A = this chain, B = another copy of it.
Amino acid sequence: MKASRFILHARLAADTVPVAELPLSRVLLMNDARFPWLILVPRRAGVRELFELGARNRRQLIEEIALCGRALLEASRFSKLNIGALGNLVPQLHVHVVARTPGDDAWPGPVWGSGKPRPYSVVRRAALLRTLRLSIKARSRAR
């Protein structure tokens, strides 16, 4: 059952701040200073699983994941990416792109279910958002 119009799931809206709009996905920053953590949400109503997207959208999605992954590593001192599409709690298709580094708060386990988020300070979040937006914009242009 597809809704006619894309509306961001309330839980994703509550946990994040908007970063950018890519051709397919809305890019969000998780408000959790433990990990540099983006969430990509394809703006397609009613989609829960990757295979429900068409092939063209899947191709676009994986390019946007790669782009956001590079931007995230560039914006942080973290060294590894974790990418995940789970959706056990929030059915709307969304892809986590998380920067990790040995010794971080959940290493080497997954970030999902790893405890209470630690919200950013307003100043630190603004600085990270600025860096991420510039990097995503530059990488989008270069494509």
Instruction: Report A's interface with B, CB cutoff 8 A.
Output: 48-51, 55, 58-59, 61-63, 65-67, 69-70, 80-89, 100, 107-110, 112-113
Contact = CB atoms under 8 A, between A and B. Distances in A.
Contacts of A85: 81-84
A112 B129 CA distance: 29
Chain A interface SS verdict (over half): mixed
B83 A66 contact: no
Contacts of A89: 108
Q: How many copies does the complex hold?
A: 2
B50 A81 contact: yes
A69 B86 contact: no
B84 A83 contact: yes
27 contacts: A49-B69, A49-B81, A50-B81, A50-B83, A51-B66, A51-B69, A51-B70, A55-B63, A58-B59, A58-B62, A58-B63, A61-B62, A62-B62, A80-B88, A81-B85, A81-B87, A82-B84, A82-B86, A82-B87, A82-B88, A83-B85, A84-B84, A84-B86, A84-B110, A86-B110, A88-B109, A110-B110
A9 to B, nearest CB: 15
